[in-house]
Amino acid sequence: MKKQLIITKDGSHSLFVPGLNETYHSKNGAITEAMHVFIRNGLHFNQKQNLNILEIGFGTGLNALLTLENLGNKKVHYTTLEPFPIAEEIYNKLNFHTFTKSDEEFFLSLHNCEWEREIKLSTNFTFFKTNNKLKNFNDGKFDIIYFDAFAPEKQAEMWTKTVFEKMYCLLNENGFLVTYCAKGVVKRTLKSVRFEVESLEGPPGKREMIRANKK
């Protein structure tokens, strides 16, 4: 599927998919959105020092990069699912490293490292990326799930009760899921599979986001 490089309001890149009329991140700021949803309300909210994180949708690699750069004293095993990785000619142009602590070579290593193999990228960060789709993935238990699929109206099959049941089972007790989407139908579906749903302040351009807890 064709993808076009765009610049969001905070200056960081995202990708636009004409076939879906959808972007990978908020046009109000790719890094701004990812920091708010996945880092402040995900990584930093969880008080555990040793974390297993599952990302649904590696995409541009932004969430993985920001997690690695914002670990503090935490130790993270990061698993990311991406059945449709973006092409090298696209990720080579992404400008995230110019807004963050790492250099371009380090960012590109997230994309270029081997699939289906655990790789220690730093003392406190172990990285594993797989081409598996969520429905075929059953490996491990997680403390946080970054749910970063396209919006429900663009990728409806990723927001079903079956999908949320699967993620509920993949979470440890007191683990949680974070996502940028806060539609009423999503909240109701999450609650139907026993998640405790929190509506939190959203990133710029969005009134709310969701953190769904497994109690």
Q: Which two tokens stand for residue 213?
A: 């807890």
pLDDT tens sequence across 138-170: 989 999 999 999 999 999 999 999 999 999 999
- pLDDT of 103 strictly over 90: no
Domains, the chain = 28-213 (3.40.50.150)
Do you know the residue count of the chain? 215
pLDDT tens sequence across 48-64: 999 999 999 999 999 99
The share of the chain scoring above pLDDT 70, in percent, equals 100
Question: What pairing do the DSSP bridges indicate for beta strands 208-213 and 171-179?
Answer: antiparallel
Counting Cα atoms < 13 Å in the Cβ hemisphere of 187 gives 11
Average pLDDT over residues 109-134: 96
- pLDDT of 11 strictly over 90: yes
What whole-number distance in Å separates Cα of residue 153 and Cα of residue 37?
Answer: 20
What whole-number distance in Å separates Cα of residue 130 and Cα of residue 85?
Answer: 10
Residue type, 126: T
- At residue 66, the pLDDT reads 97
- pLDDT of 24 strictly over 90: yes
